[in-house]
Amino acid sequence: MAITSPSEKLWWKEPIERVELLWVALALTWAIVMFLMMPYWHVYGKQNLSNEAYRTTPEAFGKKVEAMVAQYTVRKETAREYPVVAPPAGSDVYLLGRLWEWYPILEFEKGKTYRLHISSMDWQHGFSLQPENINLQIVPGYETVITITPDKTGKFSVVCNEYCGIGHHNMVGKIYVK
């Protein structure tokens, strides 16, 4: 029994049950298929994370955001006067997370590609694009770069999905796609 020493002292010389051999072979095959799917998707799939990231500081990243806001703001929204920024297709776009907002509001064109840089000014945040459901961990001191191509129009929300203190559940940003 499993709670006593093996009844065969030389248990490693016992033959293996056939069912077990079959199952190990199936499981190993499935393991290899699953393992190969990830590199396969890097080559043929359209949803992959870049390996592009930089160390940054809140000051340096904040300056880039402000420069973009100054150049490409098209209007302001809400009582908080959030700038809505419509950067040109193909350009570098900056989004920052801080307690407790995503800044600024971004406006993209459908089918165009943007290089989106995201970082945090303080604690860790979670970039959760809804209702697409694309989720990224945003870590202070690091700048994530993803190249995105919005393929649907509409109003999208950026919900924070990493706990960041008592205002966490009020941290929502917007991305519009025309």
Partner 1 sequence: MATTAEYRTCPDTGLVFHRPAETLMKLNAVAGIVFLLVGGVLGLLMGLTRWPAVHLLKADDFYMLLTAHGIDVLIFWIIFFEIAVLYFTSSVLLKCRLATPRWAWLGFILMVIGAVTTNVAIFQGKSSVMMTSYVPMAAEPAFYLGLILFAVGALIGCFVFLGTLVIARAERTYGDGSIPLVTFGALTACIIAIFTIASGAIILIPTFLWSIGYVSYIDPLMYRIIWWAMGHSSQQINVAAHIAVWYAVAAIVFGAKPLSEKVSRMAFLLYILFLQLAAAHHLLTDAGVSSEWKIFNTSYAMYLAVMASMIHGLTVPGSMEAAQRSRGFNKGLFEWLRKAPWGNPTFAGVFLSILIFGFLGGISGVTMGVEQINLIMHNTLYVPGHFHATVVGGTTLAFMALTYWLVPVLFRRDIILNGLSKFQPYLFGLGTAGLSLFMMGAGTLGVPRRHWDISFADALLKHAYPETAYLMLALAGLAAILATLGGGLFILQIVGTVLFGRRKGEQEKSPAPIIAPQVSGNLRGLGVGGVAVPGTLVMALVFLTTFILYYFVNWKYLSEVWPLK
Q: How far is the CB of 77 from partner 1 (least distance, A)?
A: 8
73 counts as binding partner 1 under rule CB under 8 A: no
Any idea what DSSP says for residue 140? T
Torsion of Cα atoms, 94 then 174 then 148 then 165, to 10°: 70
Are 115 and 106 contacting, i.e. CB atoms less than 8 angstroms apart?
no
Shortest Å, Cβ 95 to partner 1: 13
Under rule CB under 8 A, residue 153 binds partner 1:
no
Written as six digits, the tokens of 83 are: 């700038």
CB of 85 vs partner 1, minimal distance in Å:
15
Rule CB under 8 A: is residue 144 a binding residue for partner 1? yes
Q: How far is the CB of 70 from partner 1 (least distance, A)?
A: 22
| Residue of the chain from 30, 60, 75, 90 that contacts partner 1 (CB under 8 A) | 30
Stretch that binds partner 1, among 18-26, 61-69, 85-93 (CB under 8 A): 18-26
Q: Phi, psi at residue 58, to the nearest 5°? A: -55, -40
Comparing C-alpha atoms, which of 127, 147, 145, 148 is closest to residue 137?
Answer: 127
Which residues, at least 6 apart from 128, have a Cβ–Cβ distance to it below 8 Å? 134, 135, 158, 159, 160, 161
Nearer to partner 1, 47 or 59 (CB): 47
Closest CA to 149 of 117, 110, 175, 178: 110
Site for partner 1 in 35-54 (CB under 8 A): 35, 37-39, 41-42, 45-51, 53
Q: How many residues bind partner 1 (CB under 8 A)?
A: 93
Give yes or no for a cis peptide into 100 (omega within 30° of 0): yes
Task: State in angstroms the smallest separation of the CB of 26 from partner 1.
Answer: 6
- Rule CB under 8 A: choose which of 63, 75, 76, 152 binds partner 1: 152
By CB under 8 A, is residue 57 in contact with partner 1?
no
Residues 101-140 within binding reach of partner 1 (CB under 8 A):
101, 105, 122-124, 126, 128-140
Give the three-state DSSP class for 148. strand
